[in-house]
Amino acid sequence: MQFRLHAFLGGMISSVLAITSVGADAKRASVPDFHRDVLPIFEAKCLRCHGAKRRDGKLDMRTLDVLLAGGVSGPALKPGNAQKSLLIELLHYNEMPPKKEPPRVTKEELELLRKWINAMPVSAATTPK
């Protein structure tokens, strides 16, 4: 009888751990990744003016560290708070990219960038530059 109880409890614990692991994996998969999801948007819409050859406003958008350092106007991102991130504000109000420099960021891309910034740990703001 005691063996059955231990086997039952062991099975229950294993099931709970498996469900928790699957939930954590699903959450990680739903969080946008800089290299996989965000950088391609920047490459298509931003890096011609904020990349290796040009750094308008002294802003380089090729890495997370330089986005956090920002340019003339300060940090482009506020980790954990897309609403207070300059990048989102400029994209939302169609101030960037400039109208003469299409293509514009789509609503879906803007939402992905918001999700990415909101998922960022606040401690990312203190990343050494």
63 in the same domain as 13: no
Number of domains in the chain: 2
How do residues 12-49 score in pLDDT, each as one tens digit? 666 655 665 555 555 556 899 999 999 999 999 999 99
Asked if residue 26 and residue 37 are part of one domain, the reply reads no
Same domain flag for 40 and 23: no
Q: Which two tokens stand for residue 103?
A: 């293509």
Let me know whether 44 and 102 are in one domain.
Answer: yes
pLDDT value at residue 129: 45
Structure-block tokens of residue 13: 């614990």
Claim to verify: residue 53 and residue 4 sit in the same structural domain: no
**Do 47 and 107 fall within a single domain?**
yes
Residues 78 and 99 in one domain: yes
In terms of Cα–Cα distance, which of 47, 84, 82 is closest to 66?
Answer: 47
Tell me the average confidence (pLDDT) per consecutive run of 10 residues in the chain, 129 residues long: 62 61 58 97 97 96 97 97 98 94 94 98 70
Same-domain pairing of 39 and 5: no
Query: Are residues 40 and 24 part of one domain?
Result: no
The C-alpha atoms of residue 37 and residue 116 are separated, in whole angstroms, by 9
pLDDT at position 108 is 98
Do both 65 and 86 map to the same domain? yes
Domain residues for the domain of 7 are 1-30
**Domain shared by 99 and 88, yes or no:** yes
| pTM for this prediction | 0.75
Same domain for 117 and 74, yes or no, is: yes
